[in-house]
Amino acid sequence: MDSELTRAWLLNAALLIEREKDRLTQLDLAIGDGDHGVNMQRGFSAVAAGLAEPPPAGTTAGQLLVTAGTTLVSTVGGASGPLFGGAFRALGKTLDTAAEPDDTRLLADGLNAARDSIQRMGAAQPGDKTMYDVYGPAAEAFGHALCDGAGPRAAARAAAEAADEGVRATEPMQARRGRASYLGLRSVGHQDPGAASAALIFQALATAMEA
């Protein structure tokens, strides 16, 4: 994971979120307060603005990810800002500090760290109908693909597919965390907005890897 690929990933994510912001807002109107698309668009456009120019030589992928995470924490707002921001910060810190010579294995560790950050901060369990229901399966799929001998591209594609499946799986769930949990059973039958955004982030990674 070098800084060029990281920049492409984050810029792709910003484009996807810009394109899908109305859908994200519609999802949040159904089971939340209808601000998720706007929240994410505000955050990722700030991240993209910071990456308008290629970063200075010597900037690591980890540094870019930590900076992006900090930007998300301070701009997205809501429940999702600290969760997504913390996830990117955890990923970036892992890339910069873990003692793992294999670059793709390191990314797998970083995605696990991102997932664990969300779990630690939000205390969601699998099946609680949150973004964790995407980060969990996607990080796991990435790791499994590597164990099966896949390279980084195929692993990222497997993660994106697991992420999409993870979003679909949130539809029949009853929300147990965040604002949607106030609806109780009425949260059933809608996809979780934060999960949908998380899937766009994994889609953006797979696309960046394939470019």
Residues making contact with ligand ADP (CB under 6 A): 28, 32-33, 35-36, 39, 78-80, 83, 118, 122-124, 130-132, 177-179, 192-195
> What is the spatial distance between Cα 203 and Cα 183, in angstroms, rounded to a whole number?
29
Place of tokens 């601000």: 35
Residue 83, contacted partner among ligand ADP, Mg ion, none, CB below 5-8 A by kind: ligand ADP
Over the window 42 to 81, marking each residue x when it contacts Mg ion by CB under 5 A and - when it does not, the resulting string is: ------------------------------------x---
Least distance to Mg ion from the beta carbon of 78, Å? 4
Least distance to ligand ADP from the beta carbon of 37, Å? 9
Backbone angles phi, psi at 132, to 5 degrees: -60, -30
User: Exactly one of 7, 9, 13, 36 binds Mg ion (CB under 5 A); which one?
Assistant: 36
The answer to whether residues 159 and 202 touch, using CB atoms and an 8 Å cutoff, is: yes
What is the DSSP secondary structure assignment for residue 114, as one 8-state letter?
H
33 binds Mg ion (CB under 5 A): yes
> What is the spatial distance between Cα 160 and Cα 137, in angstroms, rounded to a whole number?
10
The answer to whether residues 111 and 140 touch, using CB atoms and an 8 Å cutoff, is: no
| Closest residue to ligand ADP, based on beta-carbon distance | 194
Residue 50 or 77 with smaller CB distance to ligand ADP = 77
Place of tokens 């809608």: 190
**Helices 36-50 and 193-210, packing angle to 10 deg:** 30
Residue 132 or 202 with smaller CB distance to ligand ADP = 132
| 52, 77, 157 from 38: Cα distances, Å | 21, 10, 27
Residue 130, contacted partner among ligand ADP, Mg ion, none, CB below 5-8 A by kind: ligand ADP
Q: Which residues bind Mg ion (CB under 5 A)?
A: 28, 32-33, 35-36, 78
